[in-house]
Amino acid sequence: MSTPERRSPEPSGSGQRRAPIPFIALRDTHPVVEVLGRMGIDPPASHAATPDREFRVSAAALGFGHGRDDSQGVLIKPASPSHCWWAFRDGRGGDVVELVRAVTGTSLREAVAVLEQGGPIAVNRDTSVGVGPDGRVAAQGGSYEAPDLDRTPAERVLAVNAEAWRYLTLPRLAERARAYVVYRGVDVSGLEVLEDASGGPLVGHTPKSPTGLVDQLRRAGFTEDEMVDAGWAARRTGDVPAAGVIIDRFRARILVPFKTESGEVVGVAARAVSWADGDRRPKYLNHPRTVVFDKSEALYRPTEHQVHRRGSAVVVEGTLDALAIASSAAAAGMSEHFAPCSQSGLSLTPAVAHRVAAISTRPPIVCGDPDPSGQAATARWATSTMAGLHREVLAVTLPAGMDPLDWLRTEGPVGLLAFSSYGLVDDDSTASPRPRSAGAVVAIRELDAALDAAQPASGRAVESHEVVGAVVPRLGQLAAHVPGEARHRFAVGAADVLAERIDGRPRDWYVDQITGWSTTRVSAAWGAGLGVSDGIAPA
């Protein structure tokens, strides 16, 4: 059965029915790389050899970013036509139609016309003034007002947040949210335990009315400026008939809160409760930046309990994944052994890495999704944490197509073993997912990068010694940032990958090479008067 195409609403007052927009055909006819080329943005040199591999482009090149930190950029996914881009800081993405619409500031049908007419696509640098209700972009001639970081004091924004969260977790809305997450697979008994311990609901839900929250905040005495500056309302601007109209930013979504250590709500992560391939809305929508919220510094933790000395922080991509682990642990009476957390996305920033590292003295466990994006994100965070915080990082990879929520729904309480570093596995003696040194995922990333860099223009095969000469020293230098046993585990994990993928040399040879480089690095550093304070671990 073919997938039905979504129809655009008929314009009011029109006596003629508009033809439906052929979204699937447009995605097939206009690949995202070709559309980027029409915007003057070229893919990396390795794209010709690996056309399905994901890559990133500058957010500024697409008119995103609002002049803020562009370190995360825009993820391009050529192999996913229905969701081929994601702007991390703006918290939006979609297919090529939505990309054209976002960078040009045009309406839906105008974006389709731009795609079909061919030729260059001009990027409108003024389109990122603000993201509209439920992540939609304003039509040409108007925009949505972004929160003003200087207009409303932080204390007042926190007051708006508190009232918004109180309203969104009223009994009827909280029950709708609870029913949804339980339907998705979150353990209901564990969720009840967590809610009893926290003294209130852990998940909220938007009202049915498009102005339900705005109306409540107005009744509570907050002004429209305060609602906009707190990130809960979307207000149209510009010379358009709807200018000044204000409605709820989040629609038909469940929400989980980002909180301060003292328990104050600073923002939310939202997920559409009904989303299917081809939907015009983003599945996930993050709170916009406000005077009290910056996603690059926010960490979602379902619980804030003290962690047992054998417990670990477990870093996952999705907020519902973190909630699923916390609920399963609570149901099993093992909450103190697990501290799940998420930044709600693929990237973990240095500011958040410090907060994760402070949760437990044991190595943090990173569980990215098993797809290439998730594994690349795991490798990036492990590398930066080892080099920047000088801490060992463990990684767990679940079976293909499964995230932690799926895994626990399938495996039940025994599935929690996948997120426990107690009785750490150093080899492949068990086929079940267990935390292991991040050496394997880091080695895959370093190996792919070395192959891309070494690929000769002539097209000749890359010699194995070229790759070994690039990858082994890098892995050895990274291993030098962690102490003896952790260094060996990292080397073994990396060596498994290199032995399998390069030229058949035995694993032990690569272990010796990596540990040799790390020992040389450690000895040279300590001989030069450097040490732990400089990020070099003792042998």
Q: How is 200-229 classified by DSSP, letter by letter?
A: S-S-EE--SSTTHHHHHHHHTT--HHHHHH
pLDDT at residue number 168: 98
Confidence of residue 29 (pLDDT cuts 50, 70, 90): confident
pLDDT over 90 at 225, yes or no: yes
Structure token digits, residue 234? 């979307």
pLDDT at residue number 277: 61
pLDDT at residue number 521: 62
At residue 527, what is the residue type?
A: G
pLDDT over 60 at 27, yes or no: yes
pLDDT over 80 at 20, yes or no: no
Question: Side by side, which strands form the sheet with 74-76?
Answer: 55-57, 74-76, 85-87, 92-94
pLDDT at residue number 463: 64
pLDDT tens digit sequence for 264-320:
999 999 998 886 665 667 788 889 899 999 988 889 999 888 888 888 999 998 899
pLDDT over 80 at 139, yes or no: no
pLDDT at residue number 158: 98
pLDDT over 90 at 217, yes or no: yes
Structure token digits, residue 419? 């997120």
Confidence of residue 455 (pLDDT cuts 50, 70, 90): low
- Residue 318, classed as helix, strand or coil, is coil
- Tell me how crowded residue 487 is: count the other CB atoms within 10 A of its CB: 25
pLDDT at residue number 130: 45
pLDDT at residue number 141: 38
pLDDT tens digit sequence for 397-452:
899 888 999 999 999 989 999 998 775 555 555 557 888 888 888 888 888 877 77
Q: How far apart are CA 268 and CA 286, in angstroms?
A: 6
DSSP H helix total and E strand total for the chain = 17, 16
pLDDT over 60 at 11, yes or no: no
Q: How far apart are CA 142 and CA 146, in angstroms?
A: 13
- Residue 96, classed as helix, strand or coil, is helix
pTM of model > 0.75: no
Average pLDDT, the chain: 81
